[in-house]
Each structure stands twice: as structure tokens, then as C-alpha cells.
């Protein structure tokens, strides 16, 4: 913008602009940011058993597979408590 041009007053907002479509990763981050989290510290022996079980079921031990195993265990525990 040159010195002679006036700056627009107020915030620059386009009515036809959807930030969620332009930046889907930001939209997903905002959704995930408000979700409930549980952090657990594993003893070494329990971690070895958990890792072996995850590898046996899913073939590898990465965060996605660990998350699937934990969610499955939580669902099974909830069903047993009902």
C-alpha cells in the first residue's frame, strides 16, 4: 500500500470467505483443542505388556494404534460397569 492510499477502516472481513474451508487443519485443531484428555504414566512392565499387545493386534506401535487400543479398552470397561 502506498503512502497516498488510505487504509480501510475497521476489520477486513470478506463475507464469502470460510476459514474452515481455507485452513481445514486449523478447524480440526480448534475442534480437538476442547476435547477431554487423559494422560497416564505407565510402569515399565505394564508398558512392555501394552506395547506387545498393541503390536499383536495392530501390527505396529504408533500413537494412532495406541489410541485405538486405549479407546477399545475404555469402551470395554464402560460396558462391564453398566
Q: Is the pTM of this model over 0.75?
A: no
- Distances in Å between the Cα of 74 and the Cα atoms of 35, 50, 81 are 16, 14, 11
pLDDT per residue over 30-68, tens digit each? 888 889 999 999 999 999 999 999 999 999 999 999 999
Question: To the nearest 5 percent, what fractions of the chain are helix, strand and coil?
Answer: 60, 0, 40
More confident residue, 28 or 8: 28
Position of cell 506395547?
51
DSSP character string of 41-55: PPPHHHHHHHHHHHH
A 10 A CB-CB count for 36 gives 4
Amino acid at each position: 500500500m502506498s503512502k497516498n492510499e488510505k487504509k480501510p477502516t475497521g476489520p477486513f472481513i470478506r463475507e464469502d470467505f470460510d476459514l474452515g474451508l481455507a485452513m481445514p487443519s486449523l478447524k480440526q485443531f480448534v475442534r480437538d483443542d476442547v476435547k477431554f484428555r487423559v494422560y497416564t504414566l505407565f510402569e515399565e512392565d505394564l508398558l512392555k505388556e501394552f506395547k506387545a499387545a498393541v503390536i499383536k493386534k495392530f501390527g505396529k506401535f504408533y500413537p494412532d494404534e495406541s489410541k485405538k487400543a486405549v479407546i477399545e479398552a475404555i469402551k470395554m470397561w464402560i460396558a462391564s460397569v453398566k
